Amino acid sequence: MKELTLTTHVKVYQYDELSEEDRKLIDKAKEATARSYAPYSQFAVGAAALLSDGTIVTGTNQENVAYPSGICAERTTLFYANSQYPDQAVRVLAIAAKTEGDFIGKPISPCGACRQVMAETEKRYGQPMRILLYGKQGIYEIENVAGLLPLAFD
Ligand code: THU
């Protein structure tokens, strides 16, 4: 018998410890929450993707009265980025969430379906996609999608 141990390294930053580029991306994800459509959950999520040519695209969660028809901010953003800029890798994805008028303290953790889409995006462009999860108490940095989805189906 053999055992495999899979580890995820998460760096936790305070906002002012981040690079200017990362701060800007977090700001864009936070701003995007204002464009969320979340009448059912009242949980507004924004995401911002930095592409390899420097373009930033943002997206939000979009809910629907037929609940499963809605989509998370991460997938809105990645599908939009891949639709509009199919030749640009996604280098960094930042995510922020707001509820009851304030940003959450502990970072949001993306759902399984979004992790699978992140894995596909990373694989498609053949380079790591860094993930920044914003929380008021600290920002988690995960260096690639395997950190969120180990042993991914591919
Ligand atoms: N949601 C996201 O947009 N991203 C996540 O990482 C988790 C959850 C959305 C889905 C739904 O619109 C609302 O947040 C509550 O689950």
Confidence of residue 68 (pLDDT cuts 50, 70, 90): very high
For the chain, domains (ranges, CATH) are 10-147 (3.40.140.10)
Q: What is the average pLDDT across 120-143?
A: 97
Structural tokens at position 12: 């936790």
User: At residue 17, does pLDDT exceed 90?
Assistant: yes
Task: Output the ligand 1 site: residues, CB below 6 A.
Answer: 38, 41, 43, 45, 61, 63, 70, 72-74, 108, 110-111, 114
User: At residue 12, does pLDDT exceed 90?
Assistant: yes
Q: What are phi and psi of 8, to 5 degrees?
A: -120, 125
Among protein residues, the one whose CA lies closest to atom 9 of ligand 1: 72
Tell me, in angstroms, the distance from the centre of ligand 1 to residue 72's CA: 5
Confidence of residue 154 (pLDDT cuts 50, 70, 90): confident
Q: What is the pLDDT of residues 23-51, one digit of tens each?
A: 999 999 999 999 999 999 999 999 999 99
Half-sphere exposure of 70 (CA within 13 A, CB side): 19
The residues annotated with a catalytic role in the active site are 74
